[in-house]
Structure 1
């Protein structure tokens, strides 16, 4: 939809050349980052293998109970040896979790849980392999899952994705909030990009050491980094370039996976979009409009909204800002506001939108940036649940009514059955009155 040449974005630009595309902050960015990482074939195989391993364990309640029992035994041994400390809320047993495309942070949680329960999971798989009560398919799946888990490449990618998704998780969680703080959003985007770049340029050695320590702890064979890497044997082996193991893991996986995520962040949060958000953050009424500066407002209008303000209006906008700032100093209600929505509503209710009409126009332009709520995406997610999971066939009117109730279920809880019955009864009485 956002296509610059022939998509929805192009249609907007055709009618309004000064329209600016800013990616909806409510979009589940982490899932987009996971999708970008999966463009690397090794990472794609990792997530497929991760799902397969978890399915092997969680396909039976018996295996799930064995997994938790093994983890509990492991925790008891570590506590008795003094390697773990006791405390409220620590040393939770946990379980394995499947990564879901519609659950926030589920990929990160899935990887964290598997690494946390690594030994317990291996013990369950080893038990399945020798359990005569299991079918040959189940024993075969357990054998394959075990071989995947104890491979160095699986552990390497698991730690890499844990690191990358952990860096971006703070930003992803913040962008899911219904009310988005533009100032903090800009800062989080910048810090996320910086941390990912720092991981690429300065943390290879420390990251590799962390992976190797994990492998040594769990008796996983660590390959010689200066040895020749062989991805496939036979005819395919002769068709590829001769590279070392270190080059494969460092260049083909580590660097490329990080570059894919950096590229995705740059596409969704371009420098121009961040500049626009930085300027608009000055309009935030927090702390008595302490960031409101007339010169910066001029730059915002001249650079991003030249077609919405004439040169004469730009001059008058400066005078209006002077009067508005003076009024803020003497108005406790204005000083205590925290969002642009509250400010815009206040100006409309008090009639000050007619007095500061140019300032009000600028605020309304800023409020059109799709960075405030996740309402649209939540509506689409709810529509998928209502249409495909709860009902197979539904008329449009009934579907729309059900969807409204489901999306606004917090409001719907405030209605009692008696009030709904009384409302319908009053409608019926009115119809009888009109008929008479």
Structure 2
């Protein structure tokens, strides 16, 4: 759909040259992390091992019961293994964190099982390479997961995307260079390899060698580097992204209150895109009025855009830019959240819901607020008085 020659976006732009196209920021983040692992053989193997661990316990209530009993013997917290999908690599954070925190109970359950699956898992799990990769991914994917949740917020706009992304990029870069995170795996194993080819970790014997250590560190380092490269490519200020950055800059209070090259570049970009030669002069008048009269209420880009809309008769070019910035969606999260609510409400047992009832239930689920604050007595009274009822 976004082909450079005959894609749908290009055909639409031929009809409307000022049309802007953007990609959901949450999907871009997921693709950046997923594609970073696709070209690395060990991480693909690691993904299969994590899936095998999940299926081993999910398909057997007996195995799950044994695992929970072993976990409760060590601590009161039980972090369950989660299902993983190749197209949703960010969900790995919960999976690898469960492996790291439940490693000893996991090994004890597998060691006691005499079936066919457990010995196969025991060949790959109690190794330095597997445990090191689990801890590194738990640290890196936690940072990406925090960013993903931020991108899924209903209040996020284009002006806050860059700042959130810079923080995450800095953390991923630090973890990649230091090869050590909060999970502190390297501090729990010996610094050098024993002649026996084994090391002890949390009271469990794991296979260890100098080759495994080098390969593990190299694989994790490459993953971190490729994540950073993919993030830079997918969130680069080129094409329509550069134009959107310009729209954000002229309405973002953190940018327009300071005169300088950044603001001038944003004004130039927006003027060229809209083809409005008088935009700069009109915008500077609008900017001066906002700084002088509305500095207290103009605390984000949305409020500045609303101020422009209130003065649409005075600043036509600025209002046009404000409309464009407000109508461009940052992500498709709200749409997909609606589909998820739809699937939760309209199940096989409720397939006869009419359209209006279904619509009201979805609105209540999405916008109704916390259920404990709902006034059921008032709702019952209104329902009772709508018509004569036998109660």
Fold conserved between structures, TM > 0.5: yes
Post-superposition offset of 1:408: 4.7
2:227 to 255, 261, 282: 261
Alignment of 1:326-337 (within 5 A): 326-329=292-295, 335-337=296-298
User: In 2, distance between residues paired with 1:110 and 1:305?
Assistant: 48
Q: Which residue is 2:312 aligned to? A: 353
Superposed counterparts of 1:238-277, under 5 Å: 248-251=215-218, 253-272=219-238, 273=241, 276-277=244-245
**Which of the numbers 306, 313, 317 marks the counterpart of 2:283?**
317
Match of 1:128 in 2: 113
Q: Does 1:161 align with 2:145?
A: no
How far residue 145 of structure 1 moved from its aligned partner, in angstroms, is: 2.6
Measured in 2, the distance between the counterparts of 1:120 and 1:176 equals 34
Q: State the 1:93 CA deviation.
A: 1.8
Question: Retained in 1: the 8 A contact 2:147–2:164?
Answer: yes
Partner deviation per Cα, 1:166-193 (whole Å, 9 max, x = no partner): 2322211211111015444212212323
Q: How far off is 1:42 after superposition?
A: 1.9
Q: Which residue of the other structure, out of 348, 369, 389, is the alignment partner of 1:391? A: 348
What aligned pairs does 1:87-126 form with structure 2 within 5 A after superposition? 92-100=76-84, 106-126=91-111
For 1:299-314, what aligned pairs fall within 5 Å after superposition? 299-314=265-280
User: For residues 372 and 336 of structure 1, what CA distance do their matches in structure 2 show?
Assistant: 26
Distance 1:370 1:128, change over 3 A: same
Seen in structure 2, the aligned counterparts of structure 1 residues 370 and 72 have a Cα distance that, compared at 3 Å, is same
- How far 1:221 moved relative to its partner? 1.5
Residue by residue over 1:364-419, the C-alpha shift from the partner in whole angstroms, topping out at 9 and shown as x without a partner, is 222244327732232344455567xx239969x95686366325524467794665
Q: Please say if residues 26 and 176 of structure 1, whose CA atoms lie closer than 8 Å, have aligned partners that are also in contact.
A: yes
**2:14 matched to which residue of 1?**
14
Report the RMSD for the aligned CA atoms in angstroms.
4.0
Q: Does 1:220 align with 2:196?
A: no
CA distance in 2 between counterparts of 1:70 and 1:184 reads 44
The worse-fitting range, judged by mean Cα deviation, of 51-60 and 96-105 is 96-105
* Greater displacement, 30-39 / 263-272: 30-39
Contact 2:90–2:145 (Cα < 8 Å) also in 1: yes
Contact 2:305 2:326 in 1 (8 A): no
Deviation at 1:278, TM superposition (A): 7.3
Higher-Rg member (1/2): 1
Q: In structure 1, the residue corresponding to 2:113 is in which secondary structure?
A: helix
Q: Corresponding residue for 1:193?
A: 169
Q: CA separation of 1:307/1:185 partners in 2, compared to 1, >3 Å: closer, same or farther?
A: closer
Q: 2:252 pairs with 284, 297, 303, which one?
A: 284
Greater RCO, 1 or 2 (C-alpha within 8 Å, sep 6+): 1
| 1:166-181 matches, cutoff 5 A | 166-180=142-156
Structure 1 SS opposite 2:272: coil
Distance in structure 1 (CA, Å) of the matches to 2:190 and 2:242: 39
For structure 1, the 5+ residue unaligned runs are 76-91, 130-138, 226-244, 330-334, 427-436
> Counterparts in 2 of 1:8-157, with a 5 A limit?
8-27=8-27, 29-30=29-30, 33-34=33-34, 36-75=36-75, 92-100=76-84, 106-129=91-114, 139-157=115-133
8 Å CA contact 1:26, 1:371 repeated in 2: no
1:362 corresponding residue in structure 2: 321
> Counterpart of 1:96 in 2: which secondary structure?
coil
Change (3 A) 1:167 1:246: same
Partner deviation per Cα, 1:150-177 (whole Å, 9 max, x = no partner): 1333223212322321232221121111
Q: Deviations over 1:95-115 (max 9, x none)?
A: 322135599964212211211
Change in 2 beyond 3 A, CA 1:250/1:128? closer
2:179–2:221: 8 Å Cα contact kept in structure 1? no
Count residues with an aligned counterpart.
367
> Could you say what secondary structure the match of 1:354 adopts?
coil
Contact 2:248 2:325 in 1 (8 A): yes
